[in-house]
Structure 1
Amino acid sequence: MSRDYPKDANSLNQLEVRYLTNKISRRTFVALAAAMGIAGPTLSALADQLDDIRSNQDARRKNLQAGYDYIVCGTGSAGSALVGRLAANKLANILVLEAGDWDTAPSVLDPKVWFTNLGTERDWGVVAEPSPTVNGRAIPEHMGRVVGGGSSINATIWARPFKTDLDHWAELTGDPAWGYKHALDVFRKVENWQGPADARYRGKDGPVWCQPSASPPLIAPALLEAAKELNFPVLPDQNGAREEAAGGFAYMNQIIRDGQRRSMARAYLYDVLGQENVTLLTKALVHRVILEGGRATGVEVDLGDRVTTISATKEVILCAGGMNSAKILMLSGVGEEASLKALGIKTLVDSPEVGANFQDHILHGGCLWEAPEPFQMQNSGANVAGFWKSQSSFASPDINIVQIELPYASDVVAKEYTPPPTSWALCAGLVAPKSRGLLRLRSTNPADKPILHAKFLSHPDDLAALAAGIEVCRELGNSKAMKPFAKREVAPGKKLDKAEMADFVRKGATTYFHEAGTCRMGNDSGAVVDAKLRVNGVRGLRVADASIMPKIVSVATMATCVLIGERMAEILTQNS
């Protein structure tokens, strides 16, 4: 439903949440919303929609069925997109299971404080095992455990993949539908783009609101001037033509509307939660998929007051994210036989690559400068970014340089350099890592976090690429254009020799929280899923989230996860 939002849209969203969760009556909701200036017809339609959602989901929970056509596990970017599209078929009876709670916290709605969700109940809380390649540090791998998944707690960046990323997927799977040409059609259908019209690249009528950084602080355009000063391309749009180019700097695209986050749950799920064919259960932890005779017949799920089994007559689709889909498969008996046997789990499908091929983008925290005076953080605190090739021979950029309007630093760098509170950062990000990690079960208890051997920077090329990116950050930060914002360089503060740089890279390594690859897609015998996202060796079971990426895309992964969810919906509705 189209809405005319008031200026104080964040407060309206919180009102919606209070009404949906029975905290206030319809009369109170209408009165408070009217006081915000919402017109009568719009207010009535909005209240009706919320009534439909609340009454429908209350009824669905009270009359939980023994079976559904489709069971979708997870409401992240891919899961939300999948359910939103799949629900258009009113004959398809869909159960959606979310381990977290509703996206009700003010910290979800306000993008300025997105990072305060990390480490809370809205985060799965996985931490990678300590590794010598990052100086023995144990690096957190945050993941959204809330309606909307990562799109409800991330930095709101809408970045579409490079053409080379997707054409590589098409080559690996033998399916051109995974290539850039088809993806461009999908993205045009998906987007409600608020920037300059661009018929070739951008869509206007889709569910996903995205816009260029709104009212960025003066430090943001200064960085674009610095990029020009150093002869880096400056582009009119972070997406679009950039996807087929060799890189460049631009204002970010963000899923922020009138100062509030527009998660993929808001884009896709909310508009179908009033339908009788959609049931959403929150605080529902999936234990395992039930496999009988080589087919997925349902799931075992903890609903808080009981553990029960719910059947699926058509498909179970895991959209649980870059680590949890692999975890659920292993708990279900799909994985490497030796590691499952060691925990007493009977192997039903020997699939050694489940949990292997783990990838994430490395964000270095960071190169820091002290500003002469404080400035107001805008949007999610990151409004300009650039893509760059550390080696000219590469097909696409491997380095992402992000300006952060905060003293962003790893725990070690922050302790060593003690940046003043007025500091800001330029962070080099490795977005085409060659290192690969491994995920394994800690125990047979579904509530236990998995063991992650991330192996960050274990490939020597990754260290070299990040070192080159840090040098570019220092050039930009110390350029003429940035002088008004740089009282002094805080970290590293000087040119580093080779050994010093290697240490600075390792002790500054953090991640973007873009977990991917643990249920690799391909057309070879070792792939976990095929081009139709079917789990090899099991009928009626698919995976649709970042875990299926054979090679992680070289951008923030939210938009690509939406593409995966849209592709899954296409595949299912085509009865493939």
Structure 2
Amino acid sequence: MASIRDALGESKGLSHDGRDVAITVAVCIFVATLVTGLRLWLSRRQGPLFAMPDFMTLASLLFFYSYAVGTYMILTIGRSGYPTSQTQHWRLTFTLKWIYYLRLGYATGLGLVKCGILMAICSSQAASSKATRIAIRVLMAFCASWSLMAILLELLNCRPLSYNWNLDRSDGHCINQNAAFLAVGIIDAVTNAAILLLPLPQLIRAKVTRSEKLAMASVLAMGILVVAVAAVRTVAIARADFHSINGNIKMVSIWTTVEWTVAIMVANAPILWSLLDWLAPFRSIENTQSFPASINMDTGREFDYIVVGGGTAGCVLASRLKQHDASLSILLIEAGPDASTHPLVPDGSKAAQLLGSELNWSYKTVPQNHLDERVLSNHAGKALGGSTAINSGGWMRGAKEDYDLWASLVGDPRWSYQGLLPYFRKLEHHFDSHADPEIHGFGGPIKTESVSHTGRKYPLRQPVQAAWAAVGLTYHPDINSGSPYGLVEVVENRVRGSRQMSSTAYPLDVEIMTETFVKRVLVEERHGRKIAIGVELEDEKQSQLIARQEVIVSTGAYRTPQLMMLSGIGPQEELRAHGVNVVLDLPDVGRHFVDHVSVAQWWKLRQPEKGLAIGSAAFSDPAYFRGNPVDFVALQSVPLEGLRQALTKDEPNHNPDEHPLISSQRVHTETITVYVAQNPHDPMVAVDGTHITTHVCCMLPTSRGSIKLADRDIRSAPRIDPNYCATETDRYVLREGLRRLRQALRDTPAGQEIIESETVEEKFQPLGPNTDDQTIDDLIRRRAMTLYHPTGSASMGKVVDGELRVKGIDGLRIVDASVIPTPLSTHIQACVYALAEQAADIILGISSV
């Protein structure tokens, strides 16, 4: 104790070499701490705060701190740097003991850094070829072996162990230290070089922004520096005289410290991407353009978020994420083209023509068991903007009871009507500035227009309203009030009759790939949890792209379950039947599919010469073509006693009064009267202004269908089975809707003034007041068709949770109509917009409303 007090009390200070070492250690400790701190601070933008590479880097930094403490102990108490002959015996022993520890700390700490770097490379290239992944793991094992070898050499350097700090040791007790530590140094330099070279081929191929190129160049320069320092350190070790305790510490200590510091900087290299984007977020011009399918984005390219599907929800989501945080790198991948310049798209009245265009997926169902084995067309938009590029533009929120049932089913009030109402307001630019601000929004990106607001004064408006009034259906002034019961005026998302697409209404300052298929979502297991790490494209190179934070699937109710299953996530029996490796057995993927079904009728006008419908020369007012040729939809319930009987027939063991269709007021049917008619088959109806069309729709179907794989090719259409009209309840609802419509048009004076007769197929009779159920069911089987509102195939509560996270897979969400867990008695466009708006807030952890 006296010797230590004497040592601490002396004022001789550090030697010249000791000062050099002390300054180097101080600077290196500061730099290592700074970059590690920045890494931890910025990592919350890229994923979990403490991933395994972070733990390993932190552990290495702690060893580095202890190495620095030991070095300062040697320099101060041990008086390292002064001649051995001028140093007290106990100080030399003290120095030897600390040198022993420093070697152990160096081997352990640098081994942790090397393995941490390789784990980070493995994560960033987890979607690479199998050979690359094997090479990474082999090198990681080699680095761990190097660390273990260095530790063992130190432990076995002299036997017994105390001879390591015995000043009077004789030959034969210690190995050749120059040879041993030279071997350790050479292997150190070789492993550093291997770590540097491993990712180079992929980095060279990558198409990246200027900021990312700068970051890569910085990491490469640091990697080269580590290799160079390790080589210089190895030379210093080869020249060291291990018999001179104090005489050789300077260069070995300095190069050891520098190597360790730069290695920690390389381990924290992910901060460079975030830091450069944060401080100077410049982007090359090509990053704001769409990439056609012919342009390949090479494996390993990283983004914060990858949104698969540039449809209604995908565009909204990508836009809102970017608007909130401009530094986020977001990739939006769409299988269809950019349709913004397509000649038919801008005109809101061309929806029927777009259904026959290349912008339509033109899906077909399997033969429908309950519709005389008919195969039906199921349309969906194949373009950036999705179905907003081809739909009819109906803007209808639906009834609050539907959303409240949704919230009840999933146990999350955010999906109730009140929970979604702020997002309906946020996205809406309502046409009536005097409307109730508690119900409507006036500053959103989606502009709405009612029929009368556009100046469309269709000649049948008053007669149709009178016919419905005669059967007790009253006019409701606001279809988007949350209680749209009765006869309501149609509202569309149009701008003076022109179409609005999600891809143009929302700014897309993100990277976009069009005409590009995603083959599968890449999932790997880390620490016992399955994590989505990126996507693989269906291209010649099978390019694989990495998502630092999340993969978000927004490919719609048809394609989302298909992509999930081709990614190995779905019912295991379905996956195995198609030779798909099972990543996660999630039985409800592709099940619970729901779609609205409608039945069309054609009605011969009593006075077509008055210009009542499209095709008549007198139907010529330009305002008529600023939207769909329709005034109203009739939203009605059906008689509850008949509904109870139908529900009991479908579910004899359940109390029908507890069924949601009865327990609250619901919109069971929607009836649309369209001022145009065409049918190319029996009955032949030409577009000549002599007919109009009606559609009676079952809005809350109890039939459930499925989406299954047709094969393993993502370009193939999935196997679509809506299972239309499978329940007596759905058939009952349609029968009652058809009867009520017939009553309005054929039994009321106003209806009789409009309609002369119903046009039907040969050998069939028009519906009459006494037509029986069997005859109407036959009509349903002949005429039923989709209303193009598919939902439910990745239902919330079954496939995703209330935050849209896929159950059992971290880093993977679904944001599209497939998650809607219960039928909505409305056209789903407005709901999907609101869903995506709320999804963006959920993902960002904010409330923007």
Q: Quick one: structure 1 residues 135 and 179, their matched pair in 2 at CA, closer, same or farther if it must change by over 3 Å?
A: same
Question: 2:558 maps to what in 1?
Answer: 323
Given the superposition, is the C-alpha separation of residues 199 and 449 from structure 1 closer, same or farther in structure 2, using an over 3 Å criterion?
A: same
Task: Establish whether residue 279 from structure 1 lines up as the match of residue 548 from structure 2.
Answer: no
Matches within 5 A, 1:443-462: 443-462=711-730
**2:337 aligned to which of 101, 111, 131:** 101
Cα distance in 2 for partners of 1:59, 1:326 equals 26
TM-score by length of 1: 0.84
- Mapped to 1, the partners of 2:285 and 2:522 lie a distance apart of 30
CA distance in 2, matches of 1:236, 1:515: 28
Q: Cα–Cα, structure 1 residues 438 and 407, in superposed 2: closer, same or farther, change >3 Å?
A: same
CA-CA distance at 1:408 after TM superposition: 5.5
User: In the superposition, relative to structure 1, how do residues 346 and 402 fare at CA in structure 2: closer, same or farther (>3 Å)?
Assistant: same
Q: What is the Cα deviation at residue 417 of structure 1?
A: 5.9
Aligned mates of 1:164, 1:53 — CA distance in 2 = 48
- Is 1:534 equivalent to 2:805 in the alignment? yes
Report % sequence identity.
Answer: 27
2:601 aligned partner, one-letter code = G
Distance 2:793 2:401 in 1: 21
Counterpart selection for 1:481 from 740, 750, 761: 750
Contact 1:367 1:473 in 2 (8 A): no
Equivalent residues in 2 for 1:390-405, closer than 5 Å:
390-392=638-640, 393=662, 395-405=665-675
Question: Is 1:84–1:272's contact at 8 Å kept on the other side of the alignment?
Answer: yes
1:563 equivalent to 2:843? Answer no
What secondary structure, in the 3-state scheme, does the structure 1 residue paired with 2:402 have?
helix
In structure 2, the residue matched to 1:26 is none
Q: Does structure 2 conserve the Cα–Cα contact (< 8 Å) formed by 1:426 and 1:477?
A: no
Rounded Cα–Cα distance in structure 2 between residues aligned with 1:254 and 1:330:
35
Is the 1:419–1:490 contact (alpha carbons within 8 Å) kept by the matching residues of 2?
Answer: no
How far residue 182 of structure 1 moved from its aligned partner, in angstroms, is 1.9
Alpha-carbon distance, 1:229 to partner: 2.1
Equivalent position of 1:6 in the other structure: none
2:820 matched to 1:549?
Answer: yes
The answer on 1:517 being equivalent to 2:792 is yes
Alignment of 1:359-374 (within 5 A): 359-370=594-605, 372-373=608-609, 374=611
The answer for unaligned runs of 5 or more in structure 2 is: 1-282, 614-618, 641-661
- What CA deviation, in whole Å up to 9, does each residue of 1:339-361 have, x standing for no partner? 11011111110011100001000
Question: Aligned in 2, Cα 1:421/1:471: closer, same or farther, shift over 3 Å?
Answer: farther
Confirm or deny that 1:170 pairs with 2:402.
Answer: no
Which one of 520, 531, 542 corresponds to residue 288 of structure 1?
Answer: 520
Name 2:497's counterpart in structure 1: 259
For 1:200, what is the secondary structure of its paired residue?
A: coil
The residue matched to 2:543 in structure 1 has which SS? strand
Alpha-carbon shift at residue 429 of structure 1 (Å): 0.5
Q: Determine if the alignment matches structure 1 residue 350 to structure 2 residue 619.
A: no
1:105-144 matches, within 5 Å, as: 105-144=342-381
Distance 1:408 1:557 in 2: 25
Indicate the residue corresponding to 1:212 in structure 2.
450
Matches within 5 A, 1:137-286: 137-195=374-432, 196-213=434-451, 214=454, 215-240=456-481, 243-244=482-483, 247-268=485-506, 271-273=507-509, 278-286=510-518
Confirm or deny: 8 A CA contact 1:119 1:142 kept in the other structure.
no
What do you get for the CA RMSD once the two structures are aligned?
Answer: 2.3
Q: Is the 8 A contact 2:359 2:381 kept in 1?
A: yes
* Contact preservation (8 Å) 1:224, 1:250: no
Q: CA deviation at 1:319?
A: 0.7
Alignment of 1:329-340 (within 5 A): 329-340=564-575
Query: Which one is further off, 219-228 or 332-341?
Result: 219-228
Contact 1:367/1:470 (<8 A) preserved:
no
Shift of 1:485: 3.4
Partners of 2:290 and 2:313 lie apart in 1 by: 26
Higher strand fraction (1 or 2) = 1
For 1:411-430, list aligned pairs within 5 A. Answer: 414-416=681-683, 418=685, 421-422=688-689, 423-430=691-698
Q: Does 1:494 pair with 2:767?
A: yes
Question: How many angstroms does 1:509 deviate by?
Answer: 0.3
Higher helix content, 1 or 2: 2
**How far apart are residue 53 of structure 1 and its match?**
12
> Which structure has the larger Rg over C-alpha atoms?
2
Deviation at 1:297, TM superposition (A): 0.6
Report the secondary structure of 1:383's partner residue.
strand
**TM-score, normalised via structure 2 length:** 0.58
Distance 2:290 2:829 in 1: 32
Worse-matched range after superposition: 218-227 or 502-511: 218-227
Instruction: Read off the aligned partner of 1:97 and give its amino acid letter.
Output: I
Residue identity in the other structure for 2:767? K
Report the count of equivalent residues.
508
Q: Give CA-to-partner distance per residue, 1:509-537, whole Å, 9 cap, x none.
A: 01111111110101xxxx11111100111
Q: Alpha-carbon deviation of 1:119?
A: 3.9
Q: Which amino acid aligns with 1:573?
A: L
Seen in structure 2, the aligned counterparts of structure 1 residues 63 and 367 have a Cα distance that, compared at 3 Å, is closer
> How big is the shift at 1:121?
1.9
Greater RCO between the two (CA within 8 Å, min separation 6)?
1
- Separation in 1, partners of 2:808, 2:692: 50
- Give the whole-Å Cα distance in 1 for the aligned partners of 2:534 and 2:513: 15
